[in-house]
Amino acid sequence: MGAGVGYGWVDDAPSGSESGMAYGLAAGVSMGLTDNIDLDVGYRFRDIMISGSDPQEHQVSAGIRFNF
């Protein structure tokens, strides 16, 4: 799990460039498939708070980890 606060910008050609405060959240889980192989699944959310429509981003990731 994780969280962060920062500053972000959006470069949109018709509207120009806008910037503002940004925040993000993340969570993930790992599940053992065998003694040497794990399945990792994660989710990230990001929002830049600007006037008008806020650009939001949702990401889901998955991976396999090999332990030696």
Using alpha carbons, list the distances in angstroms from residue 66 to 17, 26, 52: 43, 23, 45
Residue in the structure block whose two tokens are 């503002």:
20
Q: Mind listing the pLDDT tens digit for each residue in 11-33? A: 776 767 888 899 999 999 999 99
**What span, in angstroms and rounded, lies between the C-alpha atoms of 59 and 44?**
5
pTM beyond 0.85: the answer is: no
What is the percent of the chain where pLDDT is above 90? 65
